[in-house]
Amino acid sequence: MDAPDTRALHEAVLAWYDVHARDLPWRGTSATPWSVMVSELMLQQTPVARVLPVHAAWLERWPTPASLAADTTGEAVRMWGRLGYPRRALRLHAAATAIVERHDGEVPAAYDDLIALPGVGDYTAAAIASFAFGRRHVVLDTNVRRVLARVVSGTEFPAQAVTRAERDVATALLPDDPATAATWAVATMELGALVCTARQPACDACPVAGLCVWRGTGYPAYDGPPRRGQAWAGTDRQCRGRIMALAREADSVGAAQVEATWPDAEQRERCLAALVTDGLLTQITPGRWALPG
């Protein structure tokens, strides 16, 4: 089956998005660039349902980059709550500080300025420029990559890391008009999140089912390298999460409290040391830790 016609693909996906787009606080004309930026950092490896209440609380407390930059990194980590990967809170605080120092407190619109901010990589810079400012950029998150892999390339899943060929496909499909390109980016992302999901794609509800190469060739099974799972129980991630939960709820935590929440001494000490190294905890006295001030 040949690759789908670009115009037909655009029309089908954009029409579907016009009807099925979720009403999310970081979308639409009322969303500030800062709201978009906060959402992009929070949504990395985290479902929308978990992000929504934290995003709302974050914007209520820190409605601008300057308001966050004026507060401590410890408070940023505390407000991050149970979203996971709390280093993202430190990155967002560092980015807010840089925005105040370099851009008069306003989130920059240019990709080059965005990617120069601490903790902002290619995807995040492209997403902010596209979703907040209507710029024309290739935005390749997991959902977009999966949609393009199936619909255009006929493979069930994309490679573990973005390839040059994959980026070339995405670039060739990007509409010329910047505003349309920005909508295309979020529409393909939404299609991957709601319909063309990883485990149970809803092909009967897909607007491009008739154009999809993967479907048209009989759904060939993925034959690439083993896909990494998201283990949790007993991992350092779980241990770190338990320790951070203690720290968020108190001014400081002692060794006895940490020991009670995680019995494996070697793993516990390793995770404590890593949290201090990452800047998520500060050792205030021997055997006592707190969020950074």
Q: Provide the 8-state DSSP code for 204.
A: G
27 in Cβ contact with 21 (< 8 Å): yes
88 in Cβ contact with 42 (< 8 Å): yes
Active-site residue, from 11, 40, 156, 269 = 40
Residue 206, exposed/middle/buried by CB under 10 A (0-12, 13-18, 19+)? buried
Half-sphere exposure of 67 (CA within 13 A, CB side): 8
Told to judge if 40 belongs to the known catalytic residues of this protein, a careful annotator would answer yes
Show Cβ contacts of residue 277 under 8 Å, excluding neighbours closer than 6 positions.
none
Distance CA 75, CA 67 (A): 12
- b (16+ CB within 10 A) / e for 106-120: ebbeebebbbebebb
178 in Cβ contact with 188 (< 8 Å): no
211 in Cβ contact with 12 (< 8 Å): yes
**Active-site annotation, residues:** 40
